[in-house]
Amino acid sequence: MNIFKLKNTIQEYAWGSKVIIPELLGLTSPAEEPQAELWMGAHPKSPSGILKDGKEISLIDYIKQDPKGTLGQNVAEIFDNNLPFLLKILAAETPLSIQAHPDLLQANEGYKRENNQGIPIDSPRRNYKDANHKPELICALTTFDAMCGFRNYSKMCDLFQFLQLQKNIPEIETFIQNPTERSLQILFKELMEFSEERKKEAVDILLERYKKVTPRTDEDRFIFQWICKLSQIYPGDIGIFAPLLLNTIRLQPGQALYLDAGILHAYLKGAGIEIMANSDNVLRGGLTPKHIDVPELMKTLSFSSKPLEIIEPVSFDNVEFIYDTPANEFRLSIIRLTESNKLYIAKKRSGAEIILCRDGFTEIEWEKEKKLKLNKGESIFIPFSTGKYKIEGKAVLYRAIIPISEIQ
């Protein structure tokens, strides 16, 4: 099979950057509208296109023609003839909503339930756009600020007490007296279900208190900076409390976070490569004018407090650097081709792949001297039946594969 260049769709959301994606793709910069995400894959909402026999067809239709040859037999059988991942460039100028993703069982049940209720797929009240879960990995291209998972209970209590929030918000005082997973669950639900008047009152108290204290550490300073920024963008939103509740961090370029089902998170600012299971299911929890379904969100969330794990890529050949996660649907790696290491050879392959050229230029060769040039901003789809291939040049490439062996 041939290797195909992809024609991808840009998603224009209000939080996007007018610069990052246009400059990567060599388009006019700044763009007229914010460009938030570039999608590479076969999601029904915005599938990539390929040029076959002189005609452009969607990647979905191309895979349907020969699922086993395109995806690989095991991948086709396990994932019902679908490409199981979606690759994105994400460019956040302002914060995304606080959100979490359901597990596979909840997504399946929720999708069927909302279908039976007759809620249109494009309805703003809809929670489940498909029946799939959405584990995801975000890999920073620039410095990348994010909130991810509930922070250590002791640290959370320390921040509450440092700001003396318990004096005016009794629900916080109750949590401080017995900081456990269950009491955090109760506190979070109470905050989310405050009346609009109480939300405004609580946010006003928080803003008044943090302005009166001197940050003790760089971490305090970073948390308070984001409380300030969020209050300016989403005044009165209870999500302004999130930097106190969630691990609030800055990734350096090349570092990554893995987010499984139920992890409350928000991407705040920066550019990254995002890879996820092929789903668009999002349950929101603040910093958004969109629909928030508190009972459904509560069913999803994990309130455990675990140390935040920043993933660094690991290399065995000093050419390909792999981000290891437990996801079955995807694996992301960086291929760095330099003056001293100009060649990458893909021998044993597990399924279809997508490769994005982040910088530089390369030439890909497969079968009997078939060749294709790949330049900055371009991406390709490599069917499983293409077999072995090699890449030569000077470039930084992001490679998305399905980590399932064809020999099981």
Active site residues: 284
CA-CA distance, 26 to 149, in Å (whole number)? 36
In angstroms, the Cα distances linking 333 to 179, 319, 336, 402 are 39, 10, 10, 11
Instruction: Catalogue the E-assigned strands of 122-219.
Output: 136-140, 144-150
Indicate the length of the chain as a whole number: 408
Other CB atoms within 10 A of residue 346 CB: 20
CA-CA distance, 55 to 26, in Å (whole number)? 24
Other CB atoms within 10 A of residue 379 CB: 24
Other CB atoms within 10 A of residue 408 CB: 5
Burial call 312-325: b when 16+ CB within 10 Å, e when fewer = ebeeeeebbbbbbb
Question: In what helix (H) or strand (E) does residue 65 lie, and over which residues does it extend?
Answer: helix 59-65
Is residue 230 within 8 A of residue 243, CB to CB? The reply is: yes
Instruction: Catalogue the E-assigned strands of 278-401.
Output: 283-286, 314-315, 320-323, 331-337, 343-346, 353-366, 370-375, 379-382, 389-401
Is residue 14 within 8 A of residue 290, CB to CB? The reply is: no
Is residue 121 within 8 A of residue 131, CB to CB? The reply is: no
Three-state helix/strand/coil letters over 226-245: HHHHHHHHCCCCHHHHHHHH
